[in-house]
């Protein structure tokens, strides 16, 4: 049902465009509102979540750009699996945030996993 090319294109573009916006909103909200009031370990979890999302998104964008990464063969699949794992781990680590920052990071993680699903990595 969801194998239509237009659905796959919509999922890919939504993940490609929305994730960086949500990560920026999560980071700016964290810096302005909750950074000072959270303990260090929660700040660390929240920032790690955002860093993992950025790394996963970069791999996703490179994969969509199709710059010859598929020629890496099994290493491409291994790195893609690591990128998907980073997105899933980012969703778990997003609990370190508070308020809207946590929500933005969680939604960005889910969108990343959604994009990977329709891009064919999982």
**What pTM value is reported for the model?**
0.83
User: What per-residue confidence (pLDDT) applies to 122?
Assistant: 45
User: What per-residue confidence (pLDDT) applies to 6?
Assistant: 79
User: What per-residue confidence (pLDDT) applies to 51?
Assistant: 94
> How far apart, in whole angstroms, are the C-alpha atoms of residue 26 and residue 59?
20
Indicate whether 21 pLDDT > 90. Answer: yes
Answer with the residue of higher pLDDT: 120 or 99. Answer: 99
User: What per-residue confidence (pLDDT) applies to 108?
Assistant: 93
> How far apart, in whole angstroms, are the C-alpha atoms of residue 1 and residue 20?
28
Indicate whether 2 pLDDT > 80. Answer: no
């Amino acid at each position: 049902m969801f194998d239509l090319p237009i659905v796959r294109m919509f999922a890919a573009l939504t993940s490609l465009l929305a994730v960086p916006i949500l990560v920026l909103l999560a980071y700016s909200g964290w810096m302005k509102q909750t950074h000072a009031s959270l303990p260090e370990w929660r700040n660390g979890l929240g920032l790690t979540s955002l860093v993992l999302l950025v790394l996963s998104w970069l791999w996703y964008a490179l994969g969509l750009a199709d710059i010859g990464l598929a020629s890496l063969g099994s290493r491409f699949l291994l790195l893609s699996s690591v990128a998907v794992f980073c997105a899933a781990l980012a969703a778990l680590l997003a609990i370190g945030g508070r308020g809207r920052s946590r929500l933005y990071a969680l939604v960005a993680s889910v969108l990343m996993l959604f994009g990977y699903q329709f891009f064919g990595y999982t």
